Chains A and B, each alone.
Chain A
Amino acid sequence: GAGVSQSPSNKVTEKGKDVELRCDPISGHTALYWYRQSLGQGLEFLIYFQGNSAPDKSGLPSDRFSAERTGGSVSTLTIQRTQQEDSAVYLCASSFYRTSGMSTDTQYFGPGTRLTVL
């Protein structure tokens, strides 16, 4: 079946502009994660959604970042007043479920959105 899809694949924006990144998880997956990969920082976690539950925003790097998930499916990551340090590849992952504690189901990643802030 279809994998995780993300759009746009590339986004170039000017410093100070707002951007929206979209993620379509695998159908039936209730858990959705956003990560970003930047040079010198590796892969870092941003935010997690379980179904329609309100997410824990503590992993977001600043209050300029926000995310929502509509209908327990599609998610949008919004970055307001972009800064050059926001340049990175933003990756979305989904999994069928997350069990209690530290155990998780396999996470499948989308192709990412490469964000460049000039």
Chain B
Amino acid sequence: GIQVEQSPPDLILQEGANSTLRCNFSDSVNNLQWFHQNPWGQLINLFYIPSGTKQNGRLSATTVATERYSLLYISSSQTTDSGVYFCAAPGGSQGNLIFGKGTKLSVKP
């Protein structure tokens, strides 16, 4: 089945810095989602982005489906951005999402 790999596994930023998180997937996908898992464990939807670029405030995402990767950009990071960022793509026979191992982001004041 499809494999999803994320990098870097850990990232420490100073507040105000920008960052780019990467997600590679091993097969063609019709859907890709980015999530933020906050310190309380809640998975919050960030983007549904099978292709192209989307922006939401300080966050934006780009998926290049033909090259099997997606990027999540965080600009002017804030301490509230801390947590784990996951990307996921449908890879099971039942449309279930296959998750990467996540990028753990820590934003220091």
Contact = CB atoms under 8 A, between A and B. Distances in A.
Given A102-B29, A102-B91, A104-B90, A45 B97 contact: yes
Contact of B35 (A31, A109, A111, A114): A109
B90 A103 contact: yes
Contacts of B48: 106
Nearest to A41: B101
Interface string A83-116: 0000001010100001001111011110110100
Interface in B58-107: 86, 88, 90-99, 101-102
Contacts of A103: 30-31, 90, 95
| Interface SS of chain A | strand
A104 B42 contact: no
A111 B39 CA distance: 12
A43 B86 contact: yes
Contacts of B14: none
A107 B41 contact: no
Which of B48, B92, B93 has the most chain A CB atoms inside 10 A of its CB?
A: B92
Given A35-B97, A42-B99, 18 more contacts: A42-B101, A42-B102, A43-B86, A45-B96, A45-B97, A48-B95, A48-B96, A56-B94, A59-B96, A102-B29, A102-B30, A102-B31, A104-B30, A104-B31, A107-B33, A111-B40, A112-B41, A114-B41
Nearest to A46: B96
B8 to A, nearest CB: 16
A86 to B, nearest CB: 17
B43 interface: yes
B42 A59 contact: no
Given A42-B101, A104-B31, A104-B90, A112 B42 contact: yes
A78 to B, nearest CB: 19
Interface string A15-37: 00000000000000001010101
Contacts of B90: 102-104
